[in-house]
Amino acid sequence: MIGFCYLEKERFPEYADALFSVLHGNMNAIAPTGQSREADFACWSQAMGEQLKSESRSVILIFYRPTQELAGYFQYSVSDGVFFMEDIQFKPEFQGKHNIFRELYSFVFEHLEDFSVVRANASKRNTKSMGVLRHLGLVSVGENKTGRSYCFRGTKEDLMRWYTGGRR
């Protein structure tokens, strides 16, 4: 039902509006910026374009297979043994359905091996995201520099424990 593929970075402009639509739909409900969609898109697309220049950063596109509809995306980086889950977004109609998280991490584990630490940030306004990170085995270890997000940390083993349901 759900399919995954890596975004070819040079194709970002083709996917930018669709990716931003998923993000904007979710974040507008949690932490609206007060700017127009166009202003938010311009700021986000410029920053995302810069971020994608980094070799350590990747984006996984998440598709609903029967229709090839973009259901969401997962942006992460891996550097110096740290798997940093930067952004995960699903359209509301796919949240909590189709076992997306478990299938996504199955895809991730097939492609990543060289990490031992897992990190993520969650906006203080996004209690759902904080709950997901805790469910994945991460713990809050403080705040980010701006004070608007909590920083979470765990290990590959913590993530694998969640993924395998405690079976090893």
Give the model's pLDDT for residue 167: 56
Confidence tier at 19 by pLDDT (50, 70, 90) = very high
CA–CA gap between residue 114 and residue 98 (Å, rounded): 28
Confidence tier at 63 by pLDDT (50, 70, 90) = very high
Tell me the CB-side half-sphere exposure of residue 29, using CA atoms within 13 A.
11
Confidence tier at 145 by pLDDT (50, 70, 90) = very high
Give the model's pLDDT for residue 166: 64
| Residue 38: domain span | 2-164
> Which has more pLDDT, 113 or 81?
81
CA–CA gap between residue 14 and residue 12 (Å, rounded): 5
Confidence tier at 58 by pLDDT (50, 70, 90) = very high
CATH number at residue 22: 3.40.630.30
**Total structural domains within the chain:** 1
133 CB-near residues (< 8 Å, 6+ apart): 120, 122, 152
Q: What whole-number percentage of the chain has pLDDT above 90? A: 69
Q: What is the pTM of this model?
A: 0.91
Contact 101, 93 (CB under 8 A): no
Give the model's pLDDT for residue 146: 92
